[in-house]
Structure 1
Amino acid sequence: MRELTSPSVVKDIINSYRFKIRKSLGQNFLMDANIIDKIVNAADLTPEDLVFEIGPGLGVLTRRLACSAGKVIAVEIDQNLLPILQETLAEFDNAKVVHADALKVNFDQIAAEHTAGAFGTNGNSFNLVANLPYYITTPILMHLLTSGFNFNRMVVMMQKEVADRMQASPGGKDYGSLSVAVQYYTIPEIVTRVPKTVFYPAPDVESAVIRLTRRKNPPVNLQNEEMFFKVVRAAFGQRRKTLLNSLTGSGLAEKEVWLEILSKIGVEPTRRGETLSIEDFAMLANTFYRYHK
């Protein structure tokens, strides 16, 4: 198989299959071998590992993953890419393509089905490595994080702005509800920045690769996880307003209730949501939960 990191080869394959690149599916094909190596190296795969990929495209990253992992399961929503992937992955018996919507996939179930139960809910944990479609990056990640799937590590390419938000610290403009959610479930580390020029066609934004290592235990103790995230979303619901006004505007409780709770935990009502740490949000949510009960 010719190298899929060559622009001429990529264009030849696209033309030979009369494939139409669909912007609506975020199809920007990575063609840089150096970036691909950085992604795979960051995943730290072994021949005993199962790795999922979302949006394999033409299979350039899939091929490299198949050389490092024991088994690769690539989830692709565009059926027009299936015959191309059949050709580009033909030499890899350990690479399987599943035609499905990643937002609806039960990754544990698929892992168990393709490994005779060795991986999945009652088996070993798996990894995920992907160049995610940018238009659904956050929904896919939240699906993966909140569904309790048995993954160990995710190494994903995404819009740089989103990656910055995921690892942001309290007090900065990038810090928000996404930062809190990602850092509650994982330890995020940006691996490398990625220029537009390494894709075909080139996207409109800069990209970054981020590694998300699943925490064995959450960084805070919560009375109720659902309530925690409700309070976090409420605090960031109106970023320009004070914490008190944002919480009051959420409809979760009256202003007087929030004043009492904030006073009890020693948080000034004039602060803004982006100044609160995960620990602060845990105190706020736990106190509200006990009050709410």
Structure 2
Amino acid sequence: MGLRSKTMDIVKYFEFKFNKNLGQNFLVDENILKKIIDAAELDENTCVIEIGPGIGTLTQEMARKAKKVVAIEIDKNLIPILNETLANFDNIKIIHADALKVDFNKIIEEENLENVKVVANLPYYVTTPIITKLLNEKVKVSSMIIMIQKEVAERIVAKPNTDEYGSLSLLCQYHCEVKKICKVSPNCFVPPPKVESMVIRLDVMDKKRVDVLDETLFFNVIKAAFNMRRKTLYNALKPVVGDENLLLDVLNKSNIDPKRRGETLTIEEFALLANNISKLKGE
């Protein structure tokens, strides 16, 4: 029996109703499933945190390869289904919780997880918040293999001077090596979403891409620069620096034209700006 037929049989048997508000789209394409598993590079020493396991299709395949899988599911109606579809595995832990509210590092500690990877078919509405949470909270994972909306994936890998380039691009590229795995058609899901998806892999780097003196300031500078994309850096960064003369000194010391816009700056230039703000404010 094919994955699509098997999925529909389970949905019908349990009389499950898809919740649009939770962005539920179940993967029913064996080829994409295999590509996710291959990209995750799981083995008996790897532990996995899965966000949004659905009916457990990907969960089962990962449990066959990994040491342990912790699946976090927000929909209480899926818990009894998961308890049945995953009943034959003794290396799976199901947690009924909102992934946006859980303490991932606490889960890692309590479940004795090592060599942790996040593997997930993320609902579109939580994609950016989940990625931001995992990176900002410095969750102890080595990589994230996630299926997300193609548009968001393009933003993550974007380079300067493109429409897609922004705060999310810089957040991910500061913390991670980013790699596209494959595009995914809406036909690979039940029900099919209205947009294309993409599988990407984010490998968290031990040493960040650039050295910054104050990480909070660094991201405040980035946020301000992209808050109003049409603003020049001089106007965008006034609220961050406060003193206009100091701001001009910072831009001059950084060799950055005040008339440039945030979307033209590389991550190295943003780091230089933030570091010079820190230095000049400290003098």
Instruction: Give the shorter-chain TM-score range.
Output: over 0.9
Q: Does structure 1 retain, via aligned residues, the 8 Å contact 2:241–2:277?
A: no
Contact kept? 2:178, 2:202, Cα under 8 Å:
yes
TM-score by length of 2: 0.96
1:260 corresponding residue in structure 2: 249
Q: Report the 3-state secondary structure (helix = DSSP H, G, I; strand = E; otherwise coil) of the residue aligned with 1:187.
A: strand
Residue 270 in structure 1 maps to residue 267 in structure 2: no
**Alignment equivalent of 1:182, drawn from 172, 178, 189:** 172
User: Are 2:44 and 1:57 equivalent residues in the alignment?
Assistant: no
Give distance in 2, aligned partners of 1:100 and 1:53. 12
Q: CA contact under 8 A between 2:45 and 2:115: conserved in structure 1? A: no
Aligned 1:69-148 pairs, distance under 5 A: 69-115=66-112, 119=113, 124-148=114-138
Q: Letter of the aligned partner of 1:125 in structure 2?
A: N
Cα displacement (A) at 1:251: 5.3
Q: Which one-letter code corresponds to 2:276 in the other structure?
A: T
Q: For the residues of structure 1 that align with 2:184 and 2:122, how far apart are their CA atoms?
A: 13
Question: Structure 1 residue aligned with 2:197, among 190, 193, 207?
Answer: 207
Question: Does the residue aligned with 2:237 lie in a helix, a strand or coil?
Answer: helix
User: 2-side partners of 1:18 and 1:291: how far apart?
Assistant: 64
- State how 1:158-177 maps to structure 2 within 5 Å: 158-177=148-167
Distance 2:108 2:209 in 1: 28
Give ranges in structure 1 of 5+ residues lacking alignment: none
Distance 1:75 1:145 in 2: 18
Letter in 2 for 1:166: I
1:5-53 Cα offsets, whole Å, 9 max, x none, are: 22x3322222222221111111010111110110111011111111110
Report how far residue 254 of structure 1 moved. 4.0
Report the alpha carbon displacement of residue 253 of structure 1 after superposing the two structures with TM.
1.8
Please state how far the C-alpha of 1:242 moved relative to its aligned partner.
1.7
Q: 2:218 is matched with which residue?
A: 228
Q: Deviations over 1:218-249 (max 9, x none)?
A: 1111111000000000011111222222223x
CA distance in 2, matches of 1:15, 1:166: 37
Find the aligned partners of 1:204 and 1:252 in 2 and give their Cα distance: 42
Residue identity matched to 1:241? K
Tell me by how many angstroms 1:252 deviates. Answer: 4.2
CA shift at 1:107, angstroms?
1.8
- Distance in 2 (CA, whole Å) between partners of 1:81 and 1:30 is 15
The TM-score normalised by the length of structure 1 is 0.93
CA–CA separation in structure 2 for the residues paired with 1:96 and 1:190: 29
Report the Cα offset of residue 85 of structure 1: 0.6
For residue 106 of structure 1, report the CA deviation from its aligned partner.
Answer: 1.7
SS at match of 1:236: helix
Q: CA deviation at 1:125?
A: 3.3
2:146 match: 156
SS in 2 for 1:150: coil
* CA RMSD, Structure 1 to Structure 2 (Å): 1.4
The answer to whether the Cα contact below 8 Å between 2:73 and 2:96 also exists between their aligned partners in 1 is yes
1:237 aligns with 2:227: yes
Q: Conserved in 1, the CA contact under 8 Å of 2:220 and 2:240?
A: no
**What is the CA–CA distance in structure 2 between the aligned matches of 1:267 and 1:111, rounded to whole Å?**
43
Aligned residue identity for 2:35: K
Give the SS at the match of 1:151: coil
Aligned residues: 282
| Cα distance in structure 1, aligned partners of 2:244 and 2:21 | 43
